[in-house]
Amino acid sequence: MKNFNFFGDLMEKVLSFDVDGTLVTPLFADTIWLESIPSLVAQKYCISLEEAKSMIYKDYENIGPNRLEWYDINYWIEKYELKVNPKEFVESHSYLVQLYPEVLEVLETLKDKFNLIIISNSARIFLDVTTRNIRKYFKHIFSTVSDFNRIKDSNVYTQICKRLSISPLQMIHVGDSYELDYLSAIRSGISAYYVDRNGRMYGQYVIRSLRELLFKIL
């Protein structure tokens, strides 16, 4: 008779991924926030790019990643009175979207073994671009700021589990933010793996690339 591993079977139902820094390199988002917006501001107010960056980076810091405005491109466009269409502006950077080298191989390996989903802090306007070439692998794509009006905290993970009609024990989440992807997930009862591509942390639930994830969960 086959042994029934109750805990193991539960853990293998839903596998969730963050996007930026996990599936997709930071190049796309970083260019928009750190280069293109400052460039537009510099042009509008006839100041140097360095002055624009100094002002904008300080504004970013004052808002901080725990507030929704941090992730809202519309907020920043309105704040600086920029004459651009947010969707067209983000779309114009789509050529910068780069998957990490192992992503397609890993998703192909996992697609028939798990229900794959995305849980990201990125606004929907960004996710529509960054997930375009991998959307077929995922049954659900959640933007916490667009769909739940909050950052990726333990409450959001709980709400998503309820929406999927699963127990937190039935989900694994994978992401590159130690606070938002790892700690917030485990606080909600979900298992999680922290993607540390820079090799700064060590531990059972720390992985250097998504290829290492395969050895952990298969």
Helix (H) or strand (E) holding 118: strand 115-120
The mean predicted confidence, pLDDT, of the chain is 93
**How far is the C-alpha of 39 from the C-alpha of 46, rounded, in Å?**
10
Contact between 205 and 215 under an 8 Å Cβ cutoff? The reply is no
Instruction: Give the pLDDT confidence of 138-158 residue by residue, as tens digits.
Output: 999 999 999 999 999 999 999
Residues of the chain with CATH 3.40.50.1000: 6-25+98-217
Give the integer Cα–Cα distance in Å for 125 and 72.
9
pLDDT at site 4: 28
Per-residue pLDDT averaged across 116-136, rounded? 97
Q: What percent of the chain has pLDDT over 70?
A: 94
The superfamily (CATH) of domain 6-25+98-217 is: HAD superfamily/HAD-like (3.40.50.1000)
Q: Are 186 and 179 in contact (CB under 8 A)?
A: no
User: What is the mean pLDDT of the segment spanning 75-97?
Assistant: 97
User: pTM here?
Assistant: 0.92
User: Is the C-alpha dihedral spanning 13, 160, 158, 193 positive or negative?
Assistant: positive
pLDDT confidence tier of residue 10, bands split at 50, 70 and 90: very low
The pLDDT assigned to 8 comes to 43
**CA-wise closest residue to 132 among 87, 90, 93, 94:** 94
The CA distance from 101 to 117, in Å, is 20
Model confidence band, residue 11 (pLDDT cutoffs 50, 70, 90): very low
pLDDT tens by residue, 29-50: 999 999 999 999 999 999 999 9
Integer Cα distance of 171 and 1 in angstroms: 27
Where does residue 189 fall: left (phi above 0), alpha (psi -120 to 50 degrees), or beta otherwise?
A: left
